[in-house]
Structure 1
Amino acid sequence: MTVRPLRDRRYVVETDGGTYVVALDAGTCTCPDHAIRGFRCKHLRRVAMEVTAGSLPAPDERVGVCAVCGAETFVPLDAGGSHLCARHGFEPGDVVRDRESDERLVVVAVTTARADTYRTEEDRTLDEYVTNAAYGAHEPVIEAVYADAVRPGRGVSDCERYAFPASRLVRPRRE
């Protein structure tokens, strides 16, 4: 069976016996087996397995492209802006390293704003800074604080936030 997502949250399943449309969230399939018996047919099960395995986007997702490496990734259906794959993405609380300064930072926010649209307090876009010239203007912006600024009595929310194009930050080297 070959399964492909459609733009309307449904999936096309092609088999030797025919081509059917599955609506996973509604639990329906256009195959005769499902229409006659009303049970979960093999096409519904196959789509569910592919979604669970991460091979297909869920009904509330669409296929996107990682702004750093171009790899296929799944993003919310109505999400705009730039996105990152699991390899290049970060979560708030992650400790990362700045490629330029080699300093450690703590991620506080992951945005979908692009570096060429994100404005700093100086009213400049992030991609205008010389230190960001080697990184993509199309990349999402990661907000972080310097790890050294976080100490007892001074939490992450008390520290000044800085913004970086996503590929400027990497996971720390293992020592």
Structure 2
Amino acid sequence: MTHRRIPPTSFGPDGTSTGSRRDDENGDTRAGGDGDASADRDDGRSERAKREPMTVRPLRDRRYVVETDGGTYVVALDAGTCSCPDHEIRGERCKHLRRVAIEVTEGRLPAPDERVGVCAVCGVETFVPLTASGPRLCERHGFERGDAVHDRETGKLLVVTRVTERRADEYRTDEGRPIDEYPTNAAYGAHEPVVEAVYAESLGPAHGIDDARRYGFPASRLVPIDAGRDR
């Protein structure tokens, strides 16, 4: 299963972040004095990383366990380290580092700053920030600030201002009532995050989305005006 990345973190096949400076760019020439850094050598490691059987599991401390026929190793992708002899003794970017990088980049594993969460609307697994709290939404059911949406109950047009981290049974209106206690919200989950939005009819040249009154809705009550998103 390919998961949503929040935000996408990309690593190259050698296990380094694609945006990071590499050792050879800093003048580190570990492999002798000819200017060829060991980080640049592949020696088939990338191909073995792709084809050899490995089981990779994320740990809770931002690292990963890689199980192979030859042993079990611990990879710290953000630090670019692995406990295997190829890395610890020879200083190479081993096949285990490369395999974890591939799995993360292709969306099969969370990045070091992410963890696996569950969408509060559909229950599908999704990747969320490591320190995130409260209910979360997957890509299919998520919203972005400025999204135009329809209210399932009234059909009215609204504009999303933000997705909160509070559940519908926790978020209280100005009247002091939880969102889930309103009759029009009875068909939606009390565990869903509340999405704040403003009515489009209240907007104008002098009134943007930060000026209009905001209302809270259970996430699944709002439908994006986007034919390409099947909810």
Q: What amino acid maps onto 1:119 in structure 2?
A: R
Deviation readout 1:49-98 (Å, 9 max, x if unpaired):
11111111111111100000000011111211100000000010111111
Answering whether residue 79 of structure 2 is matched by residue 26 of structure 1, we say yes
* Aligned mates of 1:93, 1:37 — CA distance in 2: 51
Map of 1:1-175 to 2, 5 A cutoff? 1-172=54-225, 174=227
- Structure index of larger Rg: 2
Partner Cα separation in structure 1 for residue 153 and residue 163 of structure 2: 19
- Alignment deviations for residues 10-51 of structure 1 (CA, whole Å, 9 cap, x no partner): 111111222111011111111111111112111111111111
Instruction: Give TM-score scaled by structure 1 length.
Output: 0.95
- Mapped to 2, the partners of 1:153 and 1:128 lie a distance apart of 34
Deviates most, 144-153 or 116-125: 144-153
Q: TM-score, normalised by structure 2?
A: 0.73
- Residue identity opposite 1:108 in structure 2: T
CA distance, structure 1, for counterparts of residue 82 and residue 171 of structure 2: 44
Structure 1 residue runs of 4 or more that deviate by more than 6 Å after TM superposition? none
Count of residues in Structure 1 that have an aligned counterpart in Structure 2: 174
Q: Which structure dedicates a bigger proportion of its chain to strand?
A: 1
SS at structure 2 position matched to 1:37: coil
Look up the SS of the partner of 2:187 in the other structure.
coil
Gaps of 5+ in 2: 1-53
